Amino acid sequence: MKYYLLFGPPGAGKGTQAKLLVDKYNLRHVSTGDLLRKEISNKTELGLVAKALIDNGNLVDDSIVEKMIENEIDGNPDAVGFLFDGFPRTVAQAEALDALLAKRGESLDKVISIIIDDSLVFERIAHRAAIENRKDDSNPEIIENRIKTYHQKTEPLIRYYKERGKYFEIDGSGAIEDIFKKISELI
């Protein structure tokens, strides 16, 4: 089983690239953001808790998303491989993922990091707000908070994965096709 991880700040284009990659490589796309938004639209108890956090640009509790990932892996034993998108977002989540895979005698193959500047994050999210109608995309203060959260809690993962020799970085400011080509070379 192959395990790839798409990493990067909000708006870096992870979701866009993930769609192209799953079509090409038949991987199972696991976006914790999408899974959480599904809980919200189904009005589950978990969705209610998640909504308050997401709408303000804060992270959902580690234990919640870790459980979601475990369910996805357990529930898809026939998958060729997995492409995680938006997970892990904290060092604790990365450690949990490593432990989860180690328990199965497996490990993460590569972390593919799509990096863009904070100014481009703003531009991209403003553009997406006009298309996707996400509450967390529509308010500049909330976007600021997501960028801050990324730098504080998620960016330390770069070092975590570099130390483990799994980190591969791509400039996310170019054309979708060019980025896709570079990622394909890594996979």
| DSSP H or E segment with residue 60 | none
Closest residue (Cβ) to ligand ADP?
33
- For ligand ADP, the binding residue among 5, 13, 17, 33 (CB under 6 A) is 33
- Closest C-alpha to 3, from 89, 85, 90: 85
Give the three-state DSSP class for 150: helix
86 binds ligand ADP (CB under 6 A): yes
Nearer to ligand ADP (CB atom), residue 93 or residue 113: 93
Sketch the per residue contact string, 112 through 151, with ligand ADP: x for CB under 6 A, - otherwise: ------------------------x---------x-----
Q: What minimum distance in Å lies between the beta carbon of 66 and ligand ADP?
A: 8
Phi, psi of 169 (to 5 degrees): -110, 140
Q: What minimum distance in Å lies between the beta carbon of 32 and ligand ADP?
A: 3
And the tokens for 140? 């500049």
59 binds ligand ADP (CB under 6 A): yes
172 binds ligand ADP (CB under 6 A): no
Give the three-state DSSP class for 46: helix
82 binds ligand ADP (CB under 6 A): no
Give the three-state DSSP class for 112: strand
Which range in 9-17, 104-112, 159-167, 179-187 contacts ligand ADP by CB under 6 A?
Answer: 9-17
- For ligand ADP, the binding residue among 5, 6, 7, 11 (CB under 6 A) is 11
- For ligand ADP, the binding residue among 54, 83, 96, 179 (CB under 6 A) is 54
- State how far the Cα of 104 lies from the Cα of 100, in Å rounded to an integer: 7
5 binds ligand ADP (CB under 6 A): no
41 CB-contact burial (10 Å; exposed 0-12 / middle 13-18 / buried 19+): exposed
H runs (alpha helix) in 26-165: 32-41, 45-55, 62-74, 91-103, 118-132, 140-149, 156-163
Q: Which residues bind ligand ADP (CB under 6 A)?
A: 10-11, 14, 32-33, 36, 53-54, 57-60, 65, 86-89, 93, 136, 146
